[in-house]
Amino acid sequence: MSYCVNPSCSQPKNPKNAEVCQACGSSLILRGRYRVLGILGKGGFGATFVAVDLSLPGKPWCVVKQLRPSTDDPALFKMAKELFEREAETLGRIGNHPQVPRLLDYFEDRQQFYLVQEYVKGHNLHQEVKKNGPFSEVGVRQFLSEVLPILQYIHTQRVIHRDIKPANIIRREEDRQLVLIDFGAVTNQVNSVANSASTQTAFTAFAVGTAGFAPPEQMAMRPVFASDIYAVGVTCLYLLIGKSPKDLGTDPTTGEITWERWVTVSESFAKVLKTMLEVSVRHRYKTANEVLQALELVPYSESLAQSMINAPNLEKGTGNSAILSTTPISKIGTGNRTRIDRATRTSANPPAPNVPNKATAGSNFSAALNYQMSSNYAIDKNRLTSPSKSPAPKKPVPKLDANSIVEGYKNGRRDFAQQELNNLNLSRASLPGAIFHQSQLNQANFQRANLANADFGHANLTHADLRNANLSRAYLSYADLEGADLRGADLSFAHLTYANLKGANLCGANLTNAKVTEEQLVYAKTNRSTIMPTGRKGFW
């Protein structure tokens, strides 16, 4: 089928190979190369179509966005054209990121403006939740680890997206990576141009966004970079709950979304969400990097809380409760924090070489407590003051095998966290974005598997076979990789913070931009073919 883009056409559907519209006589081939196949959506000032590019081999699909400025005023039309060209330049610049659709073309035809962008095949997160149900906390943290670097990139390009929501984030079918779409500022800017009473305010008097996802300052036409942080936070709520923000209710006094009663997440992660969702920009995270840094502390703070519960008498004649009641609340320096991170590793996550053991940890316990109590990650007081109270027993988790994981993944399942998967054979499996958080994967075979963006945080991967595996942007913080075979693996942009790499074979591995320290790599095997985080081959 061919589709007519004339807004006034009464019968836009036409036969597949028609050259002109049978109803209105308009050409069905835009710019002599784009045949529109159908409409994806429309509003009062424009529409979005799917098309094929007849000029390229294979006739690839693309997205055509049509802007229709409804004005007869020459001055306003000129202003709309300038805004359109400025937006096209912006989209062309940010489209260099692999998770942002590329701008392929832009042009004007019969006083209508067109943007042509790369077509992303896949399902958006709104559809994903409707099909598979809400995400787990681990799944939402994985989502943040994927989408925040995209946000960080567009903000460095001085661009505010202004319409982040589940429907504008697509999980690309070919590699399961998230793609941020619909930088819809053009339409809204031109809408304001057409409706503004003053041409002097036409450039600035516009608000972009979706009600419920956009923060107050954005709806008041003063968007800032932190406005996108708020929208990502609301998106997290939708992923966790499966409900629109308007269905959650708001505090009539503060205007804050009353979301806490709808979700059950760790206290530390709830603190991150709360800061993302602050109504006041002053108290909200200002950058995507701030959120990423806070998220990296979540596993640390939870491990520290658990170590406090189970800690023996760390001072002569003094138990946990006495320490808690007498320790002053004060902040400590960055250097101490580094030592605490290493000293308070739990037994489920063995410390890397040269990391103090439990005996040494005792001398740092008071400092650890000071830091924890002064941080943004509060500990559950009931848990701390009742160390003898046994936690509620966990429900048994059905054991999975390789076939059930592969089939489950094909059917939309992503969460395989906290599973016993030792000796599992998933060689050459395609599982990008899968979640194996805290799973036992000792001697598992992931040779040549696609594990891009997968979550292996706190997982046991000792002696696992990860040769030539794609672990790009994978989350491996606090993972135990002792003796793992990572020869030729792609670890670019991977998170390896506090991972145990003792005896791990990284010969020929690609660690470009990976988050890993020189101290960690000292205990791993590398050679001249290893690409270090700096992008250079050879030893650090």
Reply yes or no on domain 123-286 having CATH 1.10.510.10. yes
51-53-58 Cα angle (round to 5) = 115
pLDDT of 285 above 70? yes
Quickly list DSSP for 345-380: --TTSPPPTT---HHHHHHTHHHHHHHHHHSS----
| Ranges for all domains in the chain classified under CATH 1.10.510.10 | 123-286
Which residue has 């943004």 as its token pair?
376
Residue ranges of the annotated binding site are: 65
pLDDT score, position 279: 93
**Angstrom distance (rounded) from CA 107 to CA 45:** 17
pLDDT of 188 above 70? no
Identity (one letter) of the amino acid at 93? R
| Ranges for all domains in the chain classified under CATH 2.160.20.80 | 399-540
As a whole number, the mean pLDDT across the chain is 78
Looking at domain 399-540, what is its CATH homologous superfamily? E3 ubiquitin-protein ligase SopA (2.160.20.80)
pLDDT above 70 coverage of the chain, percent: 75
Which residue has 């990097």 as its token pair?
289
Judge contact between 405 and 425, C-beta under 8 A.
no
Q: Which CATH class is domain 2-118?
A: alpha beta
- For 303-324, how does the pLDDT look when each residue is reduced to its tens digit (9 = 90+)? 555 545 544 443 434 333 333 3
Distance of alpha carbon 230 from its chain centroid, rounded? 14
Least confident range from 112-116, 117-121, 360-364: namely 360-364
Residues 163, 182, 228, 341: which is the catalytic one?
Answer: 163
Q: How confident is the model at residue 295 (pLDDT cuts 50, 70, 90)?
A: confident
Q: How confident is the model at residue 300 (pLDDT cuts 50, 70, 90)?
A: low
| Ranges for all domains in the chain classified under CATH 3.30.200.20 | 2-118
Strand order in the sheet with 178-180: 122-124, 169-172, 178-180
- For 230-271, how does the pLDDT look when each residue is reduced to its tens digit (9 = 90+)? 999 999 999 999 998 988 888 888 888 999 989 989 889 999
Q: Using only the alpha carbons of the chain, give its radius of gyration.
A: 26
- For 118-156, how does the pLDDT look when each residue is reduced to its tens digit (9 = 90+)? 999 999 999 999 998 999 888 899 899 999 999 999 999
pLDDT score, position 304: 53
Query: Is position 73 annotated as part of the catalytic site?
Result: no
